[in-house]
Amino acid sequence: MRYLLLTLFALCCSFAIPKDCCASCVYENSCKDNSISFRSAYFYPTGKLERKIYNSPIFDIELEGFYSLSHKWGLYLNVAYLEKNGRSDGLNLKTKMRMAPINFGIEYIYGLTDKVSFYVGVGPSLNFISLHDNNPIGKKHTKKCCVGASTKSGFYYDLSNNFFADLFVDYLYIPAGFKNTSNVGGLRAGIGFGLKL
């Protein structure tokens, strides 16, 4: 997992090769150049069982690279990681969930003012999930890799010529196919800060 995350970090960095913003932008400063950003979010699971087991807030971290295709369109690649302890349903045994979604997709950006832009994006996701249960009877470790989908939306705010803030809401669909639940994805809402390259 460590080597995978290091490789993806390198990909995110190389994905954001410096490139000038398109000169035909309506709001030139609202163009999103190639960039790299760090984002953190509150994760709200879709499944009732996950919310019951991991009933306290779940936060994740994410690294994202963005490649500008034009002043309105671009490609993104991001890697997130979350880890949460909880108590299993029924036996009340300790359990831990680790999840690392990798999302790739296309993003549309619409400039609202010279500093604020609205964006939406969609694409597939590759998800690595690990569950660890402190159960002396059943299986203790469960690992899965599955393909899902992600959507993203939010607002970019230019803090300066080189830095921007990102206020976002994403949705992850992760069909892991566990016994008691089919979707371990959910909503993510948070804030990020990025560097234009």
List, as one string, the DSSP characters of 60-114: EEEEEEEEESSSSEEEEEEEEEEEEEEE-TTT--EEEEEEEEEEEEEEEEEESSS
pLDDT tens digits along 119-135:
999 999 999 998 887 76
Q: How many domains does the chain contain in total?
A: 1
pLDDT of residue 135: 67
pLDDT tens digits along 21-40:
443 444 444 457 899 999 99
CA-to-CA separations, 195 to 35, 84, 93, 119, in angstroms, rounded? 6, 29, 43, 17
- State the CATH number of the domain containing residue 41: 2.40.160.20
pLDDT tens digits along 5-14:
454 545 444 4
Higher per-residue confidence, 132 vs 193: 193
pLDDT tens digits along 40-99:
999 888 877 777 777 767 889 999 999 999 989 999 999 999 988 877 666 667 888 899
For the cut 90, the answer to whether the pLDDT of residue 175 exceeds it is no
CA distance 149 to 170: 11
Question: At 125, which amino acid appears?
Answer: S
pLDDT of residue 53: 75
pLDDT of residue 47: 74
pLDDT of residue 180: 57
Range in 32-36, 104-108, 177-181 the model is least confident about: 177-181
pLDDT of residue 139: 62
Give residue 64's domain range. Answer: 2-196
For the cut 50, the answer to whether the pLDDT of residue 155 exceeds it is yes
pLDDT of residue 179: 61
For the cut 60, the answer to whether the pLDDT of residue 162 exceeds it is yes
CB 58 within 8 A of CB 84: yes
Dihedral Cα 71, 73, 74, 76, nearest 10 deg? 130
pLDDT tens digits along 131-151:
887 766 666 788 889 999 999
